[in-house]
Amino acid sequence: MLDWNKIKERSATLLGEASKKFRQYTPESFSKEKKFVNSLVVSMALMTMADKKAETQEVITALDLIKDIDEINDLNLTTEAIELYEFHIEELSNVVDSPTKWVLLEAKLLSELSKMKSYPEYPPMIEALIAHIAQSDGNLDASEEEMQRKILAAIK
């Protein structure tokens, strides 16, 4: 069962810790890094919801990872990344009962991930993170393995 109070408490804590001043990057560099952060968040949301339910431990693991990823911290995008992750979890949660809407949203998010193909340095990190989230609740089921394959196909 999903413990929303525990998740919201953890989100509030991490958002409070994320108030740093933004560094300046060139537009090209920012665009590449922003795409990477977006892909990390989308990948984590897809893995969290792979079995069409959000487990508290998976959500907390994802939020902790967002807080600890240097690339996100270096860009001072922790707050935005947490908000984006929560948005995608809510969006996916809203369509779990509609197979058609689920497939469409999943395809849209996987399409976003395909932007990482241009940056071969990033997929190994995304692969490691999704494996960590998939196993964070102690249960790696067939739907999570299938989602891992879909994500890897999109980013490689």
Residue that the structure tokens 């999570």 belong to? 144
Helix-helix angle 78-95:4-17, to 10 degrees: 160
Which pLDDT does position 47 carry in this prediction? 94
Query: Which residue type does 132 have?
Result: H
The predicted-structure confidence for 52-84, as pLDDT tens digits, reads as follows 998 888 899 999 999 998 888 888 889 999 999
User: Beta-carbon neighbour count of residue 124 at 10 Å?
Assistant: 11
pTM given for the model:
0.79
Confidence at residue 21, expressed as pLDDT on a 0 to 100 scale? 34
